Amino acid sequence: MDIVGFLLPYPKQLVNGALDESLAEREDGEFLAQVVAIDNAEFFDGMGGRAVLPPRANIAVGIPCAVLEYVLTGVDNYKEGDMDQVDRVLYDLKHNPASRRILTNIYVHQDLSEMALYPCAYSMTFNVTGKKLNAILNQRSQDMLAANIWNVCQYSALVCMFAQVSGLEPGEFVHVIADAHIYDRHVPIVKELIEREPYDAPEFIMDKSIDDFYKFTKDSFSLKNYRYHEFTTKIPVAV
């Protein structure tokens, strides 16, 4: 899986923010999102912080992290014990890797009326082929400039994390978007980005000693030889 290959068209500020927000910490049985640095969030002009989140998502800046979204749907009682959606995926990857039922879903209809923005990326389906962990991310809508990098980085990193702690290798990441669009106000920025000289993809590095998903921290990840173009333009966001 060439995750970092997706990073090339995007400014460093967006990439760093997306990778930061893809992590979560568990404290007293609950997930807390890592707060994205303000200098990253400021590149989004008009993003109202919690305005795009369900009220129960206690996050200071931006969009909820990939892991947190699945935990917010709650814990269910299985014969193997109480698990949220992330716990269930991790259990099945280790104990039932051939299962056709390893998936998550955060499109909870009873919560939609409380949200300013319905979930865009809403489900993942996992498949193990040999020692490879493959994943399909389903998304109803995608702002290609402002949001694509966040989703690709978050969920690609998540697949790598799941694979490592399950004794697997990252395989294929498939991103299905029903409506992928570029807003008219973004066209000049997109043209500017795609006209820039592309650099070679950096190396995405994870701490290979970690075998417990909940032990990952921001310090567990790094990008090596990441060259980038400066980017100071604010991106107007449509909610």
**Which is the catalytic residue, given 65, 120, 153, 160?**
120
- Contact between residue 62 and residue 77 where contact means Cβ atoms under 8 Å apart: no
160 is known as an active-site residue: no
User: 130-153: b or e for each residue (b if 16 or more CB lie within 10 Å)?
Assistant: eeebbbbbbbebbbebbbbbbbbb
DSSP string, 16-60: HHHHHHT-EEEETTEEEEPPPPHHHHTTEET--GGGGS-TT---S
Is residue 203 within 8 Å of 4, Cβ to Cβ? Answer: yes
Tell me if residue 236 falls in helix, strand or coil.
strand
What is the phi/psi pair of residue 28, to 5°? 55, 40
Structure token pair of residue 98: 């051939």
Which residues carry out catalysis? 120
